[in-house]
Amino acid sequence: MTDTTILEINNISVVYSDVIQVLKGVSLVVKKKSITSLIGSNGAGKTTTLKAISGLLKPENGRVTDGTISYDGAAIQNHAPEVITRKGIIQVLEGRQPFKYLTVEENLIVGTAIRWRQPYKKDLEMVYNYFPAIVRRRKMLAGYCSGGELQMIVMGRALMAHPALLLLDEPSLGLAPMVVREIFEIIKKINAEQETSIVLVEQNANMALQISDYGYVMENGKIVMEGAARNLVENPDIKEFYLGMGASGVLKSYDDVKSYRRRKRWL
């Protein structure tokens, strides 16, 4: 492990309720200050991987049964989320889970839970700088905000904790393309300015790979492909199955019925 690595997952298996094995030997490395994206179809195990890192498997009766997760050189698998978050790993949950009955600003304040009793005024300003759209909603109940605003709230909430490693689970879920672009630009900006390492789990492979440095492709609880993001974008299989283009790189049309015969080469 070199000192440019912030997180290293080594061959982990995750089992839910002692029966359902979801991850079957996943290994990945996240470099400091980089954006690493994790793409794959539904049920591939992306979210589970994030939860294994952040310790949120525990409340769902899941467990890392094998392998190690090391963060800054220390093993953190199966630790409690309270411990892991205090080391600087914050996960932004899938599907935007705001505190509906708290105001936007209170939502952000919850982000300071890991360093309770320290001043946070400056951080609020920082978050509002990144997400100017939510400033005018400050005093409103978060439950009444729109989807894009909610995404900003939950990301801002995570930023309040000054994470060294930010785990983003599908930030584009159910958002309009324009909002998606805006959010991804902000992610890029956060990464550049705050020097936060980011792991990005996405269905929207195109957007994700555009802003990432490195990418992993997951299927059926395994990593099936990895590489620098710009190489992945060029890969014919990725193009075919995740970017919605024919192998040649042009947008696929439904007339082109033969294309589905192409086999995924890694299977």
In the complex, which residues of this chain contact other proteins (CB under 8 A)?
54, 56, 59, 61, 81-82, 84-86, 90-93, 97-102, 106-107, 109-114, 116-117, 143, 154, 157-158, 161
Nearer to other proteins, 17 or 253 (CB): 17
| Nearest distance from C-beta of residue 99 to other proteins, angstroms | 4
Min separation Cβ 107 and other proteins, Å: 8
Query: Least separation, in Å, of the C-beta of 245 and other proteins?
Result: 31
Name the minimum Å distance from CB 178 to other proteins: 21
Q: Which is nearer to other proteins, 88 or 215 (CB)?
A: 88
| Most distant CA atoms of the chain, gap in Å | 62
Check: CB of residue 112 under 8 Å from CB of residue 138: no
Residues in the chain: 267
Question: CB-wise, 109 or 135, nearer to other proteins?
Answer: 109
Q: How far apart are CA 84 and CA 105, in angstroms?
A: 24
| Structure-token match 């904790």, residue found | 161
3-state secondary structure of 172: coil
Q: Which is nearer to other proteins, 83 or 247 (CB)?
A: 83
Q: Minimal distance in Å, beta carbon 7 to other proteins?
A: 17
Task: Find the Cα–Cα–Cα–Cα dihedral 180, 183, 185, 187, rounded to 10°.
Answer: -130
Backbone angles phi, psi at 218, to 5 degrees: -110, 145
Reduce the DSSP state of residue 74 to 3 states and report it: strand
Sign, CA torsion 10/64/56/39: positive
- Residue among 173 and 224 whose Cβ is closer to other proteins: 173
Q: Least separation, in Å, of the C-beta of 159 and other proteins?
A: 11
Q: How far apart are the first and last CA of the chain?
A: 30
Q: Between 119 and 258, whose beta carbon lies closer to other proteins?
A: 119
Torsion angle of C-alpha atoms 63, 65, 71, 76, degrees rounded to 10 = 60
